[in-house]
Structure 1
């Protein structure tokens, strides 16, 4: 095979890791503009990969991995037809496609040990950077340091009280992220031969564990301990004894460190112990508000699945549908479990395809890790396993960086399947070998242009919404209005953009406008469009009902009833329904709605 094809593999690999680094440093890619900027940052790697693979094609993972990957992508695409809100499902589909693309790029360009070592070093460096940022923020918060620098750290969400979140916004997500670099450092300690390097990497693994403790994340600690227990099983037969010894040495070193600095760590360990005791007590029947809410959310997710069992409500739509099915006055955008989120969003077909994909990747990784002599493969497998294990009980994967890291790590791990040590096996081209290079190049470029054009448009819309909110906060209303309108034009199928513009015009523009009637009509049209595009979102029906009430429109009762049907545990919604029914002359119905509003308010609903 022509070596020119692989000349830029290291560069492509580094460029493919740039989105993960950006996401880790900027709130995990939680907001839409951050997630799509991650995709734009991957464009150089994608283009270079397409150009370099245009001559010989690109390799497949083979077996169940390719089949389940294609099946999951297919169900995601199919869910756009059955979705309750097309824009949200399209956004979710592009995220899944992005993870799949990064997986195959990393899989193809990681052909030699030096490329694998480079990727592992980058991931370790990213873990060190986030940990140092979190440590500095923790020192400032725990010591109550003053000054502009410490104030800046305290106001940018790097800690929650004295719990470290670093740049990942949530302490649970930061702790789950640390599982990967911790096991990579431990694996490096097993692979290197020099004693000082073993001490260095062992100390680095201990540092990551300390930062995990400082996060005070109960679920992440349990996920880490489970992964630590099974880690020796992931190692090749000749490395297992060394792995068990390394784990014991790590635990002993940490115990000594905690004892020497017990004034710092003892309160945290006691707090963590108490939280874990609460978990086991909850399993035994003792009530705990946080854990109870998660159990109820999973139970409600099951009810949502039974309503639309085959294809679900559409990828990315959980947050718009959950209020209709919740059984307690508690709301969350995600069900704190990636498994139940996939089941609700894409039904049994999507949930089954997702579990099959995750299972095929981890099973392939286990076979490779136990076959290869280097412990780094077991480290990669442990990092991927810990990542998805914690996502099964929390909302980590709502931050795009976490699934990106999972699929990148799996790409590094699975890449070993199709090469011999020091000699790459021939690729199995996905395209026909007799196809002209120009045809493959044009096909690849066309795919990139279509997908990334859509990504770029969504990014611009989300960025304009963020800029509009900033301008509104700063009092620059003309700029805010321009940004909101631009966001609407760039997202013709987006209900949020229309509702945001309507709310802005209604609260900031209409009262001072020369033609208040025209502005009022535009507000009404925007809200009506939002309810058509996303009919499951109660807030749009509620806003439209209030607007109709102000104007004496008889449709107020219909919209108020729609809002209540989609969010029956919201007291304000029942109050609006009571007013609408009273205005329509339905005194009995108004009284029933008002009684329900009072009852919900007494129960803690707002």
Structure 2
């Protein structure tokens, strides 16, 4: 690793036609990496999703580098390149049977962007570029807790303690790039890392480091064993045990954990999510459900765990996550659910080739060891979170994976004079063409992605105050970027919420039906279906659309204990059906689940109580609507 700054040969080679692209990537990579880690837009619904913008720009720069390199034949193709393209191709092919192709296109664009960055960075032979990437990551991540401590941005702009924690953990290995060298960076990097670990243990309520840091120490112990340094390996293994003890001593008894009964509040919902995702995979084990299908299908499987577990684990604190999950909180199960065994095997092949090639360089190359550490952090984190779906951690994971093989391709070919895969001129030109075409949707979609998120952020500003403005902005967000399932799912809910606030049905039936069709294309989540039933009741369409009402009521029945408002709605509908006894039973179940009812529903509750006051309480309150029907 060079101790000098930028070298001319690292950035520009006057004798090559693609030197400008090489220089562009060397400069753009550290700059856009830093922007990704610190940037956010407070007015967006999810402020950190702005981070996909610099990732998109880096993907475009990466594509330019790859196209120019393949055309000039300076970049040779190997197994890792081909399997990476195969994985992206399988994601694209799965759109054919996806339940939500629009959402799948969004997934494909992000997968494609990350894939282009991975391919480019692993072919970027520049020690100085590596050094500046490490510096950029160190400086950027060091500012994240500062923004939190100074109350500039919630959790450093990540607006979630787990997302902030994961980003810091993924960045830690990069801070040791110059380890063992007598430079300012070699001294400051580890100090910054120690400070960040202290912040996570003492000041951040998330405790993901309990799982990740001991595993990271274990990786270094294995590396030392590989180098036959038994004493050092034994010391690190003891340090791993000590780290668990220290973290537990300082972090286990935190106020956050006390308030939430320890880790149960996090573990139980993840078990529920995992089992439900497993049920989704069992329906399509070979090919998977298709890209973008998870959010669409999850509501149909959100109670599957009850058929598997002998005990209930429903947690009201995370009820929203278990109804509109967004992610499985286990990348492996979601990978299997979306892309089947075929996708899993392709991903395993990519991991195998990457690790096999990395074994040739981690003994002598600090970048390779850092890359291995980042990949391991990602593999461990993927057990309980979704690092490939959050922009910052996804990018850091990709950079780490690239560093595992960054010196294993062109340099090795220069020594052996033979590539690992025959790189004929047609093959390199074909890959250049594929890479270039893959960049077009990313480049064209970025402005629309930005304007759609900006509009959708305005929905929440106006949601309870200006219903017409909220609806217009939601419609604009869907028009600009229809690939986001949250934009579409929220559209009809925004419409019905506005009708509720203004106490009138503002649009004709045909417009209501059209907007509902647009929203339900993102899946039958509980909030959306309840909004539809609310409209049908308030608009006097209960009898006219009896078949639709019955369909949605039957769909919601298994979800009633997770969402007690379903019981309240069912009580109203039972009165409409003329069965006051079942209406009373539904109301009693709602009251038992909500400790007497929510204040926001007090007027409805009192009206139902008055309507059903002459009925005696049931001998036993049913625990599901299905049992109530019996």
Class of the TM-score when normalised by the shorter of the 2 chains? 0.7 to 0.9
Q: Counterpart of 2:75?
A: 59
* Matching of residues 24-43 of structure 1 within 5 Å: 24-26=37-39, 34=50, 36-42=52-58
Q: Higher mean Cα deviation, 501-510 or 110-119?
A: 501-510
1:3 match: secondary structure: coil
Q: Is the 8 A contact 1:312 1:346 kept in 2?
A: yes
Q: Counterpart of 1:270?
A: 249
Q: Which runs of 5 or more structure 1 residues have no equivalent in the other structure?
A: 138-149, 159-165, 256-264
Q: Counterpart of 1:157?
A: 154
Q: Counterpart of 1:463?
A: 454
> Is 2:117 the counterpart of 1:82?
no
Q: Is the 8 A contact 1:16 1:105 kept in 2?
A: no
Greater helix fraction, Structure 1 or Structure 2: 1
How many residue pairs were aligned? 551
Q: 1:558 aligns with which of 535, 550, 563?
A: 550
Describe the shift of the 1:329–1:115 C-alpha distance in structure 2 as closer, same or farther (beyond 3 A). Answer: same
Shift of 1:21: 2.9
Q: Counterpart of 1:548?
A: 536
- Work out the CA distance in 2 between the residues paired with 1:48 and 1:463: 29
- Work out the CA distance in 1 between the residues paired with 2:500 and 2:253: 54
Q: 1:350 aligns with which of 322, 343, 348?
A: 343
> Is 2:163 the counterpart of 1:189?
no
> Is 2:264 the counterpart of 1:288?
yes
Q: Is the 8 A contact 1:172 1:220 kept in 2?
A: no
TM-score, normalised via structure 2 length: 0.73
Q: Counterpart of 1:163?
A: none
Q: Counterpart of 1:315?
A: 291
Q: Higher mean Cα deviation, 99-108 or 313-322?
A: 313-322
Q: Is the 8 A contact 1:312 1:344 kept in 2?
A: yes
Shift of 1:402: 1.0
Shift of 1:463: 2.9
Shift of 1:132: 4.0
TM-score, normalised via structure 1 length: 0.76
- Work out the CA distance in 2 between the residues paired with 1:299 and 1:132: 38
Q: 2:116 aligns with which of 95, 98, 101?
A: 101
Q: Is the 8 A contact 1:232 1:240 kept in 2?
A: no
- Work out the CA distance in 2 between the residues paired with 1:392 and 1:121: 29
Describe the shift of the 1:511–1:604 C-alpha distance in structure 2 as closer, same or farther (beyond 3 A). Answer: closer
* Matching of residues 3-14 of structure 1 within 5 Å: 3-14=16-27
Q: Higher mean Cα deviation, 324-333 or 118-127?
A: 324-333
Question: Over the residues paired in the alignment, what is the CA RMSD in angstroms?
Answer: 4.4
Describe the shift of the 1:174–1:461 C-alpha distance in structure 2 as closer, same or farther (beyond 3 A). Answer: closer
2:208 match: secondary structure: helix
- Work out the CA distance in 1 between the residues paired with 2:65 and 2:187: 38
- Work out the CA distance in 2 between the residues paired with 1:571 and 1:510: 20
Q: 1:112 aligns with which of 117, 120, 126?
A: 126
Q: Higher mean Cα deviation, 236-245 or 305-314?
A: 236-245
1:105 match: secondary structure: helix
- Work out the CA distance in 2 between the residues paired with 1:308 and 1:442: 33
1:70 match: secondary structure: helix
Shift of 1:365: 2.6
* Matching of residues 318-397 of structure 1 within 5 Å: 318-323=294-299, 324-326=301-303, 327=306, 328-330=313-315, 331=319, 332=321, 333=325, 334-370=327-363, 373-397=364-388
Q: Is the 8 A contact 1:419 1:425 kept in 2?
A: no
* Matching of residues 247-258 of structure 1 within 5 Å: none
Q: Counterpart of 2:191?
A: 203
Q: 2:216 aligns with which of 207, 210, 227?
A: 227
Q: 1:448 aligns with which of 439, 445, 449?
A: 439
Q: Is the 8 A contact 1:18 1:41 kept in 2?
A: no
Q: Is the 8 A contact 2:296 2:523 kept in 1?
A: no
Residue deviations 1:548-597 (CA, integer Å, cap 9, x gap)? 11223232523432541573543322443454455355x3xx85576466
Describe the shift of the 1:366–1:566 C-alpha distance in structure 2 as closer, same or farther (beyond 3 A). Answer: farther
Q: Is the 8 A contact 2:288 2:337 kept in 1?
A: yes
Describe the shift of the 1:310–1:502 C-alpha distance in structure 2 as closer, same or farther (beyond 3 A). Answer: same
Residue deviations 1:291-328 (CA, integer Å, cap 9, x gap)? 23323332333233223323333334434433433344
1:369 match: secondary structure: coil
Describe the shift of the 1:49–1:462 C-alpha distance in structure 2 as closer, same or farther (beyond 3 A). Answer: same
- Work out the CA distance in 2 between the residues paired with 1:506 and 1:212: 42
> Is 2:126 the counterpart of 1:121?
no
Residue deviations 1:371-425 (CA, integer Å, cap 9, x gap)? xx23332122112211321222224433122122111221122121123389798
Q: Is the 8 A contact 2:372 2:401 kept in 1?
A: yes
Shift of 1:435: 9.1
Q: Counterpart of 2:275?
A: 299
2:280 match: secondary structure: helix
- Work out the CA distance in 1 between the residues paired with 2:280 and 2:415: 48
Q: Is the 8 A contact 2:103 2:293 kept in 1?
A: yes
Q: Which runs of 5 or more structure 2 residues have no equivalent in the other structure?
A: 1-12, 307-312, 599-630
Shift of 1:231: 0.9
